[in-house]
Amino acid sequence: MYNHFAGKVTVKTPTYVVLECAGVGYLLNISLHTYSKIPDSGNAVLLAHLAVREDAMVLYGFADEEERELFKQLISVSGVGAGTARMILSSMNPSEIVSAIHSGNVAALKSIKGIGEKSAQRIIVDLKGKVGKGHSDSALQFAAADNKHREEALSALVALGFARNMAEKAVDKSIRSEGNVVSVEHLIKLALKNL
């Protein structure tokens, strides 16, 4: 029904933004990923998705098409509602979610509030072949080929005392910036710079 909203940011919080478009203020629920990408004031354009429930019609806003598409795919999974999908997108960025799904990383999805083991497994089973299609995102490159290096680097960083979720973000950022990494040692050194 709505494709996007372009207007002035009048309210911006980590969970929602109000965009004034032609004198009407639209409240769009957003993820932390989108929150970090939109300005505190001035004009902004947010892609939209309207979730229709029994008791309400709720607008969700997204900074880019990749996030909106991932949101739609997540809510297509049985047991994952719009609120849960937004929580997933707030906990991890889209490329990390795609990577976790492609590599079958149940632990990464389980670490998100409101996602249990069964939900994490269902998300992986339902979306493994669907997410990230058409994107040349580097997350897809390392999801299979560099998964062994990634896991070894994560184990080493956790053994050094870093929290696993922080270590995952640092390792994934390193892989995105470097592409195919030559060795586990090199990957660990790069991740340490990102921590």
- pLDDT (tens digit per residue) in 114-157: 899 999 999 999 998 888 664 444 444 444 444 677 788 888 88
Q: Is 27 strand, coil or helix?
A: strand
Task: Reply yes or no on whether the pLDDT at 6 is more than 90.
Answer: yes
Report residue 179's pLDDT band, with 50, 70 and 90 as the boundaries: low
Q: What does pLDDT average to over the chain?
A: 85
Q: Is 56 exposed, middle or buried (0-12, 13-18, 19+ CB in 10 A)?
A: exposed
Q: How far is CA 69 from CA 60, 101, 127, 143, in A?
A: 12, 15, 12, 19
The domains found in the chain, sorted by start residue, are 4-63 (2.40.50.140), 65-137 (1.10.150.20), 145-195 (1.10.8)
Strands 57-62 and 43-52 come out as antiparallel
Instruction: Dig out the tokens for 122 from the structure.
Output: 């269902």
Q: What is the pLDDT of residue 137?
A: 43
Report residue 113's pLDDT band, with 50, 70 and 90 as the boundaries: confident
Which range has the worst mean pLDDT, 27-36, 75-84, 168-177? 168-177
Q: What is the pLDDT of residue 147?
A: 63
Q: How far apart are CA 13 and CA 136, in angstroms?
A: 31
Q: What is the pLDDT of residue 124?
A: 92
Instruction: Dig out the tokens for 172 from the structure.
Output: 């994934």
Q: How far is CA 175 from CA 103, 140, 143, 163, in A?
A: 14, 11, 10, 18
Q: What is the pLDDT of residue 49?
A: 96
